[in-house]
Amino acid sequence: MLEFFSTFIAQNTPSLDSQEVFSRLIGRERLGSTGIGNGVAIPHARDPHCKAPIAGFLKLQEPIDFDAVDGEPVDLVFVLLVPEAADETHLALLAQVASVMNDTETRARLRRSESQRQLYDVLIQAIQRLGSGNQDG
């Protein structure tokens, strides 16, 4: 799954190398799983060739073992790649993504989504709710 994301990102971002992206994401996982519980993982890494934050979201048909904190398999994966020097930005983005993905209703809506467009709309709405301070939970 991380290999798929790495290849996809590199194909769409010429400055990135898929093997390097994959290596950085795996390197981060070795420090400790980014599986935050409730079937969610937020793999993330810094990359010196990344010019601006890049995010991707995958809803897996079959949950996979991700060594998550609660031991549950993961089916919702939000991958984040940031520039090497983006320390504060990196942390702020991670906090935002975690807030969105920790929302029970957002997770349920993502799991019910049947198209890429629905997934995108659910995520955008959840991010907007977070930004306006109207988030439940």
pLDDT on residue 137: 46
Alpha carbon distance 63, 28 (integer Å): 21
Whose structure tokens read 């809506």?
109
Are 96 and 130 a contacting pair, CB within 8 Å?
yes
pLDDT on residue 16: 93
Amino acid at 55: A
Choice among 2, 9, 16, 44 that is catalytic: 44
Are 5 and 56 a contacting pair, CB within 8 Å?
yes
pLDDT on residue 1: 87
Mean pLDDT for back-to-back runs of 10 residues, the chain (137 residues): 90 92 95 96 94 92 95 96 86 92 96 96 93 59
Q: What is the pTM of this model?
A: 0.89
Check if 44 is active-site: yes
Alpha carbon distance 130, 132 (integer Å): 6
